[in-house]
Amino acid sequence: MRKLTWFNTVSLTLGFAFLYIPIVILVIYSFNKSKLVTVWGGFSPKWYGELLQNQAFLDAAKVTLQVGVVSSTLATVLGTMAAFVIVRGGRFYGRTLFSGMIYAPLVMPEVITGLSLLLLFIAIGMDRGVMTIVLAHATFSMCYVSVVVSSRLVSFDQSLEEAAQDLGCTPWDAFKSVTLPIIAPAVFSGWLLAFTLSLDDLVIASFTSGPASTTLPIKIFSSVRLGVSPEINALSTIMIALVTVGVVTASIVSKRAIAQQKRDEQMAEQ
Amino acid sequence: MTINPAFAPWLDPQAKPIIDFQSVTKNYGDFTAIDNIDLKIYPREFFALLGPSGCGKTTLMRMLAGFETATKGTILIDGQDMADVPAHKRAVNMMFQSYALFPHLSVADNIAFGLKRSDMPKSEIGGRVDEMLRLVQLGKFAKRKPHQLSGGQRQRVALARALAKGPKLLLLDEPLGALDKKLRHETQFELMDIQEKTGTTFVIVTHDQEEAMTVASRIAVMDHGRLAQVDTPDRVYEVPNSVYVADFIGDVNIIRGAVGSVDSDIADLKWSEGAAPIRALAGPDLKPGARAAFAVRPEKVGISQSEPTDMHNRVQGRVEDIAYLGNMSMYFVRLADGTLVKAQVANVRRISRRGITWDDQVWLSWTDTAGIILPD
Ligand SMILES: Nc1ncnc2c1ncn2[C@@H]1O[C@H](COP(=O)(O)OP(=O)(O)OP(=O)(O)O)[C@@H](O)[C@H]1O
Ligand SMILES: [Mg+2]
């Protein structure tokens, strides 16, 4: 290993400090015994206990997960279909317009997306609730999915599907048993992206949520406006822990897959 | 190919073709890839498609397999119009030029892919896969993924996968291109063996003329989406119907000139002022006075130091170069009018024809039926 120069050491430390000190402080204060957020009153995990008693937070967490899973699944299906049309559809009439419109929500300000969806739901007389958030999230995250999936599809060798059909697959069977397994990593990362976006979203959710369907970001944001409570710190710490576990697991899994592949290749050379 | 000499269904007006192209044209935009082709291929044939890159061989195969539809014309397989039959319903298997192996499946699963979708009982699939693996000598590689194989091994997996279902009609798009000579000969032999045992009809694309000559019952030479000639290997070689075919298949000497007299199957070619006309077989559509070319294979041209007065066709020239090719030698002889003619002589003795060497004046001669005069 090479030793770092003092300059590199300092910039590394500063960078990490900038990124992680706020989070570390938040985690530390989530174990604060005192009710005052800024005064250290000794170690205690009691706020985690309180959190579990807080029905409003638990409900919000449930809504968030429901919305996340359903909307990202919906977005993955729609986004993958859109990606297929864009990549495979050939030069049909209006293709440029269609693909441009698919990607527009990427750059559209969230406030506008949220507002327009709100107006739509009011216009068609749809009661706001979990369903409307799901639809709203699926709408804006499907374009992310279609970007991820179409970039994979571009390099997908279409003769594989032809070979499958040649060997007796219907087009749908060929898609299921050849195309999908091969593009599965891209589809999965599209899903993960959509899920994260949904967990993360405050603006669009606040436009489209109803009284009985508050998501965690909305809940956190509104309670912070009444003052930061240690409970919020505890909740945030849990979310950080979940995300960390998820990221670490994903990276371990993919490292293992790469190592396995390397082993296979070495075997092949013998 | 050691086929039964009686096997010539294309001569039998009663024979039913397995493949029937009727005035088929395929356009990509305003580019014509296949240009009004009529072609019949008969059951149990080993049919080879030969032609330069981009002449439409793969396109023809893809229309048979059901991945392209003809712009004009009709394609019949076993008498049935294929226009509305999708690829997966055709009793046709194709080996892709790009192999198209499934990267997420092992070699064995690639081969089993089609079998699992056929009506073969599950219990027999394993045995059939093993049989295919043995055939292409990949038994040890059954569990590997395609990316862990060499190019030639991949090609053999693709071949095994296409053969596995034992289809009535097999389309092989350059099936042996990546194999070394020994393995290629073995596989050619295996293919012929399979064909003999199962009666499958093969359509094979190849860039290797020798391969086409070895395996094929008939050869189609293609040129820019058209069929230049469809005939048995010996006829394509001995009596090509155009300069294009003569030049494309094997080594050939071309001498250009004008048609003298034409008399049923023998014609004269005036090729050089003051030289006697060349007399040879008459090709199709010769008109006296029209431009034509005489084509003769180097191995049919004799070379001698003294004038062969008994031969009608004899010309004098100077030896410009000699290429020693082991089993034979090629003499490059420059004629008085500048034409270069190749004469090939088998090296029957250890150092044969010692007598003839660089810059010698020699005589070249050939019989009246050695070459053919073709419209140019
Ligand atoms: N999808 C397509 N769109 C436009 N042109 C095409 C398409 N497929 C093939 N062509 C053109 O049609 C012609 C014939 O192509 P084809 O693949 O049949 O050639 P080939 O005889 O198989 O050549 P090779 O020996 O190089 O494989 C080529 O000029 C090619 O550029
Ligand atoms: Mg080709």
Instruction: Report the predicted TM-score, pTM, of the whole model to 2 decimal places.
Output: 0.81
pLDDT, averaged across chain B: 91
Write the residue in B88, B144, B161 that is nearest to A169 by C-beta: B88
Compute how many other C-beta atoms are within 10 angstroms of the C-beta atom of residue B261: 14
Q: Minimal Cα–Cα distance from A78 to chain B, Å?
A: 25
Give chain A's largest Cα–Cα span. 72
The CATH number covering residue A70 comes to: 1.10.3720.10
Ligand 2 center to residue B53 CA distance, Å? Answer: 7
What pLDDT, in 10s, does the model give residues B16-63? 999 999 999 999 999 999 999 999 999 999 999 999 999 999 999 999
Q: With contact defined as beta carbons under 8 Å apart, do A217 and A209 qualify? A: no
Q: Write down the domain spans for chain B.
A: 9-243, 252-375
Q: Provide the pLDDT for residue B83.
A: 92
- Where does the pLDDT of residue B194 fall: very low under 50, low under 70, confident under 90, or very high at 90 and above? confident
What domain range is A194 assigned to?
66-269
Q: Provide the pLDDT for residue A25.
A: 87
Distance of alpha carbon A82 from alpha carbon A105, whole angstroms: 14
- Where does the pLDDT of residue B342 fall: very low under 50, low under 70, confident under 90, or very high at 90 and above? very high
- Where does the pLDDT of residue B65 fall: very low under 50, low under 70, confident under 90, or very high at 90 and above? very high
Is residue A256, in this structure, part of any structural domain at all?
yes
In this structure, whether the domain defined by B9-243 belongs to CATH 3.40.50.150 is answered with: no
Prediction ipTM score:
0.84
Residues of B in contact with A160 (CB under 8 A): 100, 102-103
Distance of alpha carbon B75 from alpha carbon B28, whole angstroms: 18
Number of Cβ pairs closer than 8 Å across A and B? 68
Q: Which atom of ligand 1 is nearest to the CA of B29?
A: 4
Distance of alpha carbon B168 from alpha carbon B158, whole angstroms: 18
Q: Provide the pLDDT for residue B354.
A: 60
The order of strands in the sheet holding B31-41 is B31-41, B19-28, B72-77, B80-81
Write the residue in B65, B101, B117 that is nearest to A169 by C-beta: B117
Q: Minimal Cα–Cα distance from A154 to chain B, Å?
A: 16
Q: Is the CB of B221 under 6 A from ligand 1?
A: no
What pLDDT, in 10s, does the model give residues B50-62? 999 999 999 999 9
Q: B240 φ, ψ to 5°?
A: -60, 150
Residues of A in contact with B104 (CB under 8 A): 178, 181-182
- A165 and B100: CB-CB below 8 Å? no
What pLDDT, in 10s, does the model give residues B294-325? 999 999 999 999 999 999 999 999 999 999 88
pLDDT digits (tens), chain A, 270 positions:
677 788 888 998 998 888 888 888 888 888 888 887 778 888 888 888 888 888 888 888 889 989 999 999 999 999 999 999 888 887 778 778 887 888 888 888 989 999 999 999 999 999 899 999 999 999 989 998 998 899 889 888 899 999 999 999 999 999 999 999 988 888 888 888 888 888 888 999 999 998 888 898 898 888 888 877 788 888 888 888 877 887 787 678 767 766 766 776 666 555
Q: Which residues surround ligand 2, an ion (CB under 5 A)?
A: B 58, 97
Domain count, chain A: 1
Q: With contact defined as beta carbons under 8 Å apart, do A115 and A122 qualify? A: no
Give which of B58, B61, B96 to mutate to test A binding, by max A Cβ within 10 Å. Answer: B96
Give which of A88, A159, A161, A167 to mutate to test B binding, by max B Cβ within 10 Å. Answer: A167
Residues of A in contact with B64 (CB under 8 A): none
Q: What are B365's strand-pairing partners?
A: B302, B314
Q: Which whole-number Å values give the CA distances from B296 to A208, A227, B280, in the listed order?
A: 85, 100, 9
What's the CATH number for B252-375?
A: 2.40.50.140
Distance of alpha carbon B291 from alpha carbon B257, whole angstroms: 6
Task: Please enumerate in sequence order all residues whose Cβ is within 8 A of that of B216, keeping only pairs 6 or more positions apart, or say none.
Answer: B1, B46, B47, B48, B204, B233
Q: Provide the pLDDT for residue A47.
A: 87
Write the residue in B113, B114, B148 that is nearest to A265 by C-beta: B148
Instruction: Collect all residues from A whose CB is shorter than 8 A from any CB in B.
Output: 157, 159-160, 162-171, 173-174, 178, 181-182, 264-265, 267-268
Report the residue among B25, B26, B27, B59 best suited for mutation to probe ligand 1: largest number of ligand atoms under 8 A from its CB.
B59
Q: Which atom of ligand 1 is nearest to the CA of B225?
A: 14
- A167 and B87: CB-CB below 8 Å? no
Residues of B in contact with A157 (CB under 8 A): 98, 100
Q: Provide the pLDDT for residue A107.
A: 85
Distance of alpha carbon B368 from alpha carbon B279, whole angstroms: 6
Is residue A74, in this structure, part of any structural domain at all?
yes
Residues of A in contact with B92 (CB under 8 A): 166
Q: What are B47's strand-pairing partners?
A: B203, B218
Q: Provide the pLDDT for residue A226.
A: 82
DSSP per-residue codes, A85-119: HHHHS-S-TTHHHHHHHHHHHHHS-HHHHHHHHHH
- Where does the pLDDT of residue B4 fall: very low under 50, low under 70, confident under 90, or very high at 90 and above? low
Q: Provide the pLDDT for residue A152.
A: 86
Average pLDDT over residues B231-248: 94
